Amino acid sequence: MSSEKTPATPETPLVPEAAGARPRRLTYAAALTGLEGLALVAGGIWILVLGFTGDPDDRQQAVTGGITLMVLALLPLLAARGLLALRSWSRGPAVITQILALPVAYNLLQADSLAIPAGIALAALAVTGLILLVNAETTRALGIRGPGNAADQG
């Protein structure tokens, strides 16, 4: 065995270059999308628990609502995983998640209760997520090309 070590040269860098690295903005977008998915799971579990242990008006409706929220959580969770893996398909579901969060935030802002701060936080998260997802650096990292930029079909 040789005790020589191969020095790091420009051809063999120790740190991955930008071509294969995930931009920080994309990581943040994935984190926000995943956080929204986890919030949906938590909300679904909360509704289920209240449906079984509390005194709901309609137990079946509470169970259906809880399960629906947990199934809906799959969209942002899968999108977050895809964003972390640099899959171009994942941006669409992530953007849809952010867009769907905006009317929910608006409804929370219309409430006359402690839901108003939650609406403000959700709106801020959704807008931030959208900005991160449509950023040029994110688009490049995911390999998404705009109209007219596709390779020649020749």
Q: Look at residue 149 in the predicted model and tell me its pLDDT.
A: 67
What is residue 12's three-state secondary structure?
strand
Q: Look at residue 11 in the predicted model and tell me its pLDDT.
A: 45
Structure tokens at 129: 């997520």
Tens of pLDDT, residue by residue over 40-61, are 999 999 999 988 888 778 888 8
Average pLDDT per 10 consecutive residues for the chain, totaling 154 residues? 49 43 92 95 93 83 92 96 94 95 94 89 96 92 78 50
- Distance (Å, rounded) from C-alpha 27 to C-alpha 92? 16
Tens of pLDDT, residue by residue over 97-109, are 999 999 999 999 9
Q: Look at residue 59 in the predicted model and tell me its pLDDT.
A: 86
Please, are residues 87 and 142 in contact by the beta-carbon 8 Å criterion?
Answer: yes
Q: Look at residue 147 in the predicted model and tell me its pLDDT.
A: 74
Locus of tokens 């950023």: 135
What are the start-end ranges of the E strands in 45-152?
Answer: none
Q: Look at residue 10 in the predicted model and tell me its pLDDT.
A: 45
The whole-model pTM stands at 0.77
